[in-house]
Amino acid sequence: MKKEDFKELSDKELLERLDAAEKEYVQEKIQHSISPLDNPAKITLDRRNIARLKTEIRARELKINK
């Protein structure tokens, strides 16, 4: 997903997606350590999506506090 896509989501949806993305990321890391994945670049993409989600959540927190 792109940054613009995250801005359209509600706070609850962002938190749910963050939780799901983190769980998926951990599972992929474990799976990759056992046997190589077909597309190891997906791990990097997942990590970046997690960062985008956290950035959007933090931006909204700062916007509320202003």
Tell me the CATH number at 15. 1.10.287
Q: What is the pLDDT of residue 28?
A: 94
Q: Which amino acid is at 63?
A: K
Burial readout 2-16 (b: 16 or more C-beta within 10 A, e: otherwise): eeeebeeeeeeebee
**What is the pTM for the complete model shown?**
0.86
Query: What's the pLDDT tens digit per position in 8-36?
Result: 888 899 999 999 999 999 999 999 999 99
Instruction: Please write the tens of the pLDDT for every residue from 32-61.
Output: 999 998 888 999 999 999 999 999 999 999
Q: How far apart are CA 35 and CA 49, in angstroms?
A: 23
* Number of domains comprising the chain: 1
Position 9 scores a pLDDT of 85
Q: In terms of residue numbers, what domain contains 13?
A: 3-65
